[in-house]
Amino acid sequence: MSSSPSFSVEFFPPKDSGGEERLWQALDSISQLSPDYVSVTYGAGGSTRERTIRVTGAITNQTGIATVAHLTCVGATESELINTLNKYSADGIDSILALRGDPEGGPKSPWVSTPGGFDHADQLVSLAVSMGFEVGVAAFPDSHPATMDYEKDIEVLIEKERRGATYATTQFFFNAEKYVQLVERLKSRGSKLEVIPGVLPITNAKQLERMSLLIGAEIPDFISRRISGLDGDAVRVAGIEIAIDLCSNLLKAGAPGIHFYTMNNAYSTVEVAKSIGLR
């Protein structure tokens, strides 16, 4: 394992050819910084499954950058999940982020079981590990939006580690103390799970509000005041400054690296990564 902090980025599958072009432009800019890995998400309800598989494979094959593929249980039978894992393996992908996934209405909507499928991410962890994959899972410094039960979240992470998960990537958050609390709580239970903080450089105030409500992330008052009334470049500048401060505090607290939620735009992520010395 490298002694220097890791630098990783996350993209979502584009909806059309224009979005795909923007994704590759962003990836080209970020690849100049040699990220440790790139991850590609699924949409709610597994709605972008095929694009995720295609884009993830293309990134691996065309850039040589290690790729972590997201995989969710939503709307898939066990045999379909095995088929997806086999496709990833054929594309040279050996690491996945195993998630239950969000129903079509989002994380707070009722869960709908798929006959012959899985209802919990720990089942997917076991499957992927049995097929030889390195497996990461999700962590929630502000609690999982479907439960808002911090202690249950800890139990779930411990069980996923028991089943073979080796690291967790957090949802985005804005309070470094919550990351430290999560790590210390896991350590107190004997966990050796590596927890990588996920950071979202703010670029759009309305988008931030929508996403925060969706995933249950708390927006501290100081950030609301900082970006209130701003738009365009002013929001991006403030977002970069906020992210630099958060990332610096996380690294000082011993975070093993930073995972950036790019929203398929490279500029802010590149600026923050350079400013905090990740690259």
Q: Is 10 in the active site?
A: yes
Q: For residue 59, how many other CB atoms are within 10 A of its CB?
A: 25
Q: How far apart are CA 200 and CA 174, in angstroms?
A: 9
CA distance 178 to 278: 22
- Classify residue 92 by its DSSP letter: T
Residues 146/108, Cβ–Cβ less than 8 Å: yes
Residue type present at position 138: A
Among candidate residues 10, 161, 194, 271, the one labeled active-site is 10
Residue with tokens 């994380």: 107
Asked if residues 133 and 85 have their Cβ atoms less than 8 Å apart, the reply is yes
Distance CA 111, CA 104 (A): 9
Residues noted as catalytic: 10
